[in-house]
Amino acid sequence: MPLTIASAESAHQDERDYLWTLNFGPQHPATHTTLRLVLKLDGERVVDAVPDIGYLHSGFEKIGEHLDYNQYVTVTDRMNYISPMANNVAWHGAVEQLMGIELTRRCQYIRVIISELARISDHLLCVGAMGLDTGAFTFFLYGFYQRERIYDIFESLCGARFTNSYTRVGGVMHDMTPLTIQKIRDFLHDFPKTLDDMERLLNRNRIFVDRTKDVGVLTRDEAIQRCTSGPIARASGVTRDLRKDEPYLAYADFDFRVCCAQAGDCFARYYVRMAEMHESLKILQQAIENLPAGPVNVGIDERAHLPDKSQVYQTIEGTITHFEMVMNNRGIKVPSDEAYGAVEAPNGELGFYVVGDGSDVAYRARCRPPSFIHFATFPHLIRGHTLSDVVAVLGSLNIIAAELDR
């Protein structure tokens, strides 16, 4: 199969002889995963960039039409694999929106906790990899060590390091144990120190600041025009944050700030992410201290979640519900309608447009992937900058290929 882009040549008529073309990716360490850019260079200056994606397109949305609402959560894990918990919460949030289920308070808090842990681990990898690409290896190792701590928490929570599949329709896989809570407390105790260290390493580092300030500027109007969301939009002065604007789960209970910047350059995006980690810590602190008691899953009359084992063994309703839930032609009852549910994932607004057809398999499971929309801004951001800025801009956008291509 030839490695060419159909209209890369014809799209730019003003091509002059001294411009030359550089192929970047799809296998390149700074692309993090698999994406390809065809760059037009004038010396070291990038005249134009044509992204070519799809090198990891695996048919996530097609497979969503063949797996039931609980099975599909395993596939969402592999979507943005550096913060899978956020994807789990987004998927089941959308399904519960479609079914009209109200979660228990404890479940809402647990989902907030895992979302914020996922946000920290996502931002750590993003800023770490951005540091790595601009030459700060220590920074990356500091970040990765803390990610291992978060993996440990998830492992004690559900047994897997990062493909967790922890949520279920109407609840979670099982309740949070005291051991996990203790691990989160330890993490909350230790992490601020590392975060301060990391900030001291890069925030005023001359090399890093020179390589990221005024590089890849996205103005506020452009950010709106190009449909961006999350930290990318907030670094450009858009104050939209779903946790504040349309508080889902239990976010209305917590005291936190929405972190924004005005500049819209790579450094602003880095800085917003670092600031968001502090806010996530605040939310985690409040959520752990105020974790409500009570049941974690919805009751048996919702017919959404497998009932508790004690109910299955001791009550007739529990037994019947359990059997109906696992029977092939019964299962979860989802209305024949469509709904959109979104959460503020670490990367931006992650939403699912779910079409139900009455069965326990989605008729259509559309994912609104933030990486896809953010990567579309890339040619605009890089135009006029130098070749070495490509990695800085890519790192600041935090493109995850599995979410980009699905």
Partner 1 sequence: MAIELPDNVMVSKLDQLASWCRKNSLWPMPFATACCGIELMATGASRHDLARFGAEVFRFSPRQCDLMIVAGRVVMKMLPVLQRIWQQMHEPKWCISMGACASTGGVFDTYAVVQGIDRFIPVDMYVPGCPPRPEQLIQAIIDLQDKIQNEGTILGQEFDMASRQQPKRALVELPVLGQSPTFVRPPLEVRR
Partner 2 sequence: MITGRAVDALTARFPGVQSDEFRGQARVVVHPDSLHDVLAFLRDEHQFQLLIDITCVDYLHYRDATDRYGLVYLLATLEQGARVTVRTWLNDPDPVIATVTDLWSGADWLEREVWDMFGIVFVGHPDLRRILLPDQFTSHPLRKDYPLQGRGERHNFTAIRRGEA
Q: How far is CA 139 from CA 134, 235, 253, in A?
A: 11, 21, 33
Q: Which residue's CB is nearer to partner 1, number 236 or number 347? A: 347
74 binds, among partner 1, partner 2, none (CB under 5 to 8 A by kind): partner 1
- Residue span binding partner 1 (CB under 8 A) among the ranges 58-66, 101-109, 220-228, 329-337: 58-66
**How far is residue 208's CA from residue 202's CA, in Å, rounded to a whole number?**
6
317 binds, among partner 1, partner 2, none (CB under 5 to 8 A by kind): none
* Number of residues lying near partner 2 (CB under 8 A): 51
Q: What is the enclosing helix (H) or strand (E) of 370?
A: helix 370-375
Q: Mask: binding to partner 1, 374-403, rule CB under 8 A, as x and -?
A: ---------------------------xx-
3-class DSSP assignment, residue 109: helix
Q: Mask: binding to partner 2, 361-400, rule CB under 8 A, as x and -?
A: --xx-x-x---xx-xxx-----------------------
For residues 119-134, one letter each, b for 16 or more C-beta atoms within 10 angstroms of the residue's C-beta and e for the rest, the string is bbbbbbbbbbbbbbbb
226's CB contacts (< 8 A; 6+ apart) are 218, 373, 376, 377, 380
Complete edge-to-edge strand list for the sheet that includes strand 348-355:
338-345, 348-355, 364-368
Give the footprint of partner 2 on residues 325-354 (CB under 8 A): 336-340, 342, 349, 351, 353
3-class DSSP assignment, residue 360: coil
Q: Mask: binding to partner 1, 99-138, rule CB under 8 A, as x and -?
A: --------------------------x-------------
**How far is residue 68's CA from residue 371's CA, in Å, rounded to a whole number?**
25
C-alpha atoms less than 13 angstroms from C-alpha of 223 in its C-beta half-sphere:
25
Q: Which residue's CB is nearer to partner 1, number 147 or number 385? A: 147
Look at residues 7, 380, 19, 396 and name the one whose alpha carbon lies nearest to residue 227. Answer: 380
Taken in order 212, 213, 216, 221, the sign of the CA dihedral is positive
Shortest Cβ distance from residue 52 to partner 2 (Å)?
A: 9
Using rule CB under 8 A, residue 216 touches partner 2? no
57's CB contacts (< 8 A; 6+ apart) are 405, 406
Using rule CB under 8 A, residue 257 touches partner 2? no
Shortest Cβ distance from residue 343 to partner 2 (Å)?
A: 13
- Residue span binding partner 2 (CB under 8 A) among the ranges 95-103, 123-131, 151-159, 286-294: 95-103
Q: Which residue's CB is nearer to partner 1, number 46 or number 402? A: 402
Using rule CB under 8 A, residue 3 touches partner 1? yes
Shortest Cβ distance from residue 2 to partner 2 (Å)?
A: 9
Using rule CB under 8 A, residue 363 touches partner 1? no
Tokens in use for 78? 């592999």
Q: Which residue's CB is nearer to partner 2, number 245 or number 317? A: 245
Look at residues 240, 291, 237, 245 and name the one whose alpha carbon lies nearest to residue 265. Answer: 237
Shortest Cβ distance from residue 138 to partner 1 (Å)?
A: 11
Using rule CB under 8 A, residue 33 touches partner 1? yes
Give the footprint of partner 2 on residues 34-63 (CB under 8 A): 53-54, 57, 59, 61-63
376's CB contacts (< 8 A; 6+ apart) are 51, 226
Using rule CB under 8 A, residue 141 touches partner 1? yes
* 56 in Cβ contact with 371 (< 8 Å): no
Using rule CB under 8 A, residue 144 touches partner 1? yes
Binding site for partner 2 (CB under 8 A): 1, 6-7, 11, 53-54, 57, 59, 61-63, 65-66, 97-98, 100, 224-229, 238-240, 242, 245-246, 336-340, 342, 349, 351, 353, 355, 357-358, 363-364, 366, 368, 372-373, 375-377, 405-406
